[in-house]
Structures are given as C-alpha cells and as structure tokens.
Amino acid sequence: MNAPPYERLGLGAAARRVAESVSAIVRLELQLAAAEVKRKLGEIGVGVGLIAAAALLALYAVGFLLATLAAGIATALPWWAALLIVSILLLVLVAVLGLVGKSIVQNAAPVVPEQAIEEAKLTQEALKNGKH
C-alpha cells in the first residue's frame, strides 16, 4: 500500500510546505486588506466631494436668502438702506459668533491631558506605596 504524498515528504518538507502555504495566505490577506482600504478610501473621497459641493451650494443659498431679505426690506425703504440693514445684521452675527468661539477656545486652553496626568500621579503613588 502506498503512503499518501504528505507522509512520503518527510517532516522538513512538510513543514516547508506549511510555511509556504501560510505565507501565501498572509500575502493574499494583505492584498485583500489593501484592496478593501483602497475601495473604502475611494468611497470616502466621493463622499467628501459631495459634502464640499453641498457646502458650496449652501453658501450660495445663504447669499440668495440675504439678497431676498434685502429685496423684501427694499419694498419699504430705499435699496441702500435695505442693504445697509442686512450688512449690519451680518456684522452683528459675525461678532457674536466670533466672541462665542473665542470664549470656547480660551476655556479649552491650555491643551493638557489633565485626567491622564492625574491617573499617572495616582499610579506612581500606588507603586511607591506598594514597594514600602
């Protein structure tokens, strides 16, 4: 009776074949991962492009809404007065948003991982107390 091929190879040759098979499987898995990442990055790129287009159109829409507001005010006042009112409203909005943003940034600064530092101090104390 003939032995199966894997029994005739010997231990060294069988180990080599297993190592080659594992190596081939790892290479294929890496190629699969690379292809998947490339596909996902392409999808993300398309999504980011669509979001950028939406943001640009939203900016135009805001401009048209402001023009509509000015045109509505212009039915009761001269054009220059309507445009001045809309401009002043925009400047007030800019000032409010800027001050709120500045306040948020000042409250967040400095950027120090306070909780992590506190945990490190506690760990250091625990290690010191554990050694004594």
Same domain? 69 vs 95: no
In the structure encoding, which two tokens stand for residue 111, read together? 């950027």
What DSSP designation does 78 have?
Answer: -
Same domain, 65 and 92: no
90 lies in the same domain as 122: yes
Task: Identify whether residues 100 and 39 lie together within a single domain.
Answer: no
Q: Are residues 93 and 52 in the same domain?
A: no
- Listed in sequence order, the DSSP H helices in 1-132 are 5-9, 11-74, 79-108, 114-131
Q: Which domain holds residue 48?
A: 1-76
Tokens of 45: 């790129």
Report the number of distinct structural domains present in the chain: 2
pTM for the predicted model, two decimal places: 0.55
Residues ≥6 apart with Cβ < 8 Å to 6: 14
Of 43, 97, 90, residue with least CA distance to 66: 90
pLDDT tens per residue across all 132 residues of the chain: 565 655 566 788 888 888 888 888 888 888 888 888 888 899 999 999 999 999 999 999 999 999 999 999 999 999 999 999 999 999 999 999 999 999 998 888 777 778 888 888 888 887 788 655
Are 46 and 108 in the same domain? Answer: no
